């Protein structure tokens, strides 16, 4: 695998040389990139000699004339490892700053990222650094936590770069998970549906599409080809996913059936309206003095129809049900003919509709349910796909 090793300016930078050697021993190709501060501790020549590849140091470095190295390397990388990662580099990565070759390269990459912090214990404990690490974790960046011990500046505390063996193990685990869905096609329904009452009004719900987007990102990180069939949402989906936009449930059904042909996994994360107005009014309904009655008819059950149409696909639904009582979700699993159902309590504070976190119980037939615990939606999505893929 192609690994970019980013080295930032910590005294632990000297250990990056051994890391490069160990990763090469495991069969990986290493390309190193040093920040300015890293060059106070180690030299590009060291890494060029060790790896047999050019070492990037400046944002405008072009080892191959006419090719933008930050884009080329980012495209070709299977993984980027930043070790050691200083507070400055971590805070820049979390904020999306690209003011040197390493941070620009990370911004341009879509591959998994592993970060191994090393710094003074106060800088590690600093609220901003901690917030940045949380931000990176929520984006599925694997953090190899520093160890507690005596650090170079004479203090004792957490900040020592983790042992190289631990960093290498994390890299191997992340690379393994990045191949779990390689060659697989994943289709995800996402967001709400809008059921027209007339040409300007509709019935809908609070679904944001965040869970569908998280599943899409997780599937891409695990190497899948991803299609999202989405109702109207504000959020941006990952650029590498194919997105088919629909309005109402009937359109979502047609698009999902079309897109699911040949798919390996279909996940119903959309909050499909259960009913739609029977006769949407042409133009705009006028205000009057009398009560009006809206007749609603049931919408098709999209995920159930996908499960019936494609019996060999792994079809997974979501159930907005309390995880304390899984009987209703279990009944849905059977009634809809699904392979699995992910139950999540949308009424719990901080999780569910439009929230950043989720808390899932994954239910399969004849297997005891497993719980994700409260995590970011992306972490939940990675957990869910990991469980399904294995
Ligand atoms: O029955 P309920 O709406 O709780 O089922 C939820 C699951 O079924 C979700 O995966 C949702 O995307 C899917 N669903 C669907 N079509 C519907 C209703 C729900 O695909 N009409």
Do residues 138 and 9 share a domain? Answer: yes
CB of 301 sitting under 6 A from ligand 1? yes
How high is the pLDDT of residue 352?
66
How high is the pLDDT of residue 340?
97
Is residue 227 very low, low, confident or very high in pLDDT (cuts 50, 70, 90)?
very high
Ligand 1 centroid, distance to 10 Cα (angstroms): 51
How high is the pLDDT of residue 322?
77
Alpha helices (H) along 208-301: 210-221, 249-259
Do residues 118 and 192 share a domain? Answer: no
Q: Which of 178, 206, 237 is the last residue of a domain?
A: 178
Could you tell me the CATH number of the domain that includes residue 26?
Answer: 3.40.50.1950
Do residues 171 and 233 share a domain? Answer: no
What is the count of structural domains for the chain?
2
Report how far residue 320's alpha carbon sits from residue 356's, in angstroms, rounded to the nearest whole number: 16
Residues found in the chain: 390
Could you tell me the CATH number of the domain that includes residue 213?
Answer: 3.40.50.10300
Ligand 1 centroid, distance to 248 Cα (angstroms): 14
Do residues 171 and 294 share a domain? Answer: no
Determine the atom of ligand 1 nearest the C-alpha atom of 256: 20
Determine the atom of ligand 1 nearest the C-alpha atom of 306: 20
* CB 6, CB 102: distance < 8 Å: yes
Do residues 189 and 115 share a domain? Answer: no
Do residues 200 and 165 share a domain? Answer: no
Range of the domain at 243: 185-389
CB of 55 sitting under 6 A from ligand 1? no
Do residues 266 and 288 share a domain? Answer: yes
How high is the pLDDT of residue 324?
78
Number of other residues whose CB lies within 10 A of the CB of residue 86: 24
Do residues 169 and 221 share a domain? Answer: no
CB of 270 sitting under 6 A from ligand 1? yes
Ligand 1 centroid, distance to 281 Cα (angstroms): 26
- pLDDT, tens digit, 9 for 90 and up, residues 39-61: 999 999 999 999 999 999 988 88
Active site residues: 153
CB of 189 sitting under 6 A from ligand 1? yes
Token code pair at residue 287: 């205000």
Do residues 189 and 174 share a domain? Answer: no
Do residues 164 and 295 share a domain? Answer: no
- pLDDT, tens digit, 9 for 90 and up, residues 67-82: 888 888 999 999 999 9
Do residues 15 and 135 share a domain? Answer: yes
Pocket test for ligand 1, best of 250, 260, 267, 268 (most atoms within 8 A of CB): 268
Do residues 365 and 306 share a domain? Answer: yes
Q: Which of 127, 147, 178 is the last residue of a domain?
A: 178
CB of 299 sitting under 6 A from ligand 1? yes
Predicted TM-score (pTM) above 0.85: yes
């Amino acid at each position: 695998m192609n690994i970019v090793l980013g080295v930032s300016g910590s005294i632990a930078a000297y250990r990056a040389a051994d890391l490069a050697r160990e990763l090469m021993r495991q069969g990986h190709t290493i390309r190193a990139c040093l920040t300015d501060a890293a060059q106070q501790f180690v030299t590009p020549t060291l890494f060029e000699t060790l790896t047999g590849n050019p070492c990037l140091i400046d944002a405008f470095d072009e080892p191959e004339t006419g090719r933008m190295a930050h884009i080329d390397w980012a495209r070709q990388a299977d993984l980027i490892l930043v070790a050691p990662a200083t507070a400055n580099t971590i805070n820049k990565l979390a904020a999306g700053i690209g003011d040197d070759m390493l941070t620009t390269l990370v911004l341009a990459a879509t591959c998994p990222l592993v970060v191994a912090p090393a710094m003074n214990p106060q800088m590690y404990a600093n609220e901003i650094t901690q917030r940045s690490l949380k931000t990176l974790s929520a984006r599925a960046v694997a953090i190899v936590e520093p160890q507690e011990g005596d650090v170079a500046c004479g203090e004792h505390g957490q900040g020592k770069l983790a042992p190289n063996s631990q960093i290498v193990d994390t890299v191997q685990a992340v690379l393994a998970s990045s191949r779990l869905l390689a060659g697989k096609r994943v289709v995800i329904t996402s967001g709400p549906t809008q059921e027209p009452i007339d040409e300007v009004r509709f019935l809908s719900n609070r679904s944001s599409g965040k869970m569908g987007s998280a599943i899409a990102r997780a599937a891409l990180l695990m190497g899948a080809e991803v299609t999202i069939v989405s109702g109207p949402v504000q959020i941006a989906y990952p650029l590498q996913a194919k997105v088919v936009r629909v309005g109402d449930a009937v359109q979502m059904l047609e698009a999902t059936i079309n897109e699911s042909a040949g798919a390996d996994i279909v996940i119903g994360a959309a909050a499909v309206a259960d009913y739609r107005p029977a006769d949407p009014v042409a133009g705009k309904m006028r205000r009057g003095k009398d009560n009006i009655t809206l007749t609603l008819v049931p919408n098709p059950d999209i995920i159930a129809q996908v499960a019936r149409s494609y019996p060999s696909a792994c079809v997974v639904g979501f159930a907005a049900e309390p995880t304390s009582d899984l009987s209703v979700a279990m009944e849905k699993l059977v009634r809809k003919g699904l392979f699995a159902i992910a139950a999540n309590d949308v009424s719990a504070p901080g999780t569910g509709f439009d929230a950043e976190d989720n808390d899932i119980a994954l239910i399969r037939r004849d297997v005891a349910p497993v719980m994700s615990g409260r995590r970011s939606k992306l972490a939940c999505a990675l957990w869910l796909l990991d469980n399904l893929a294995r």
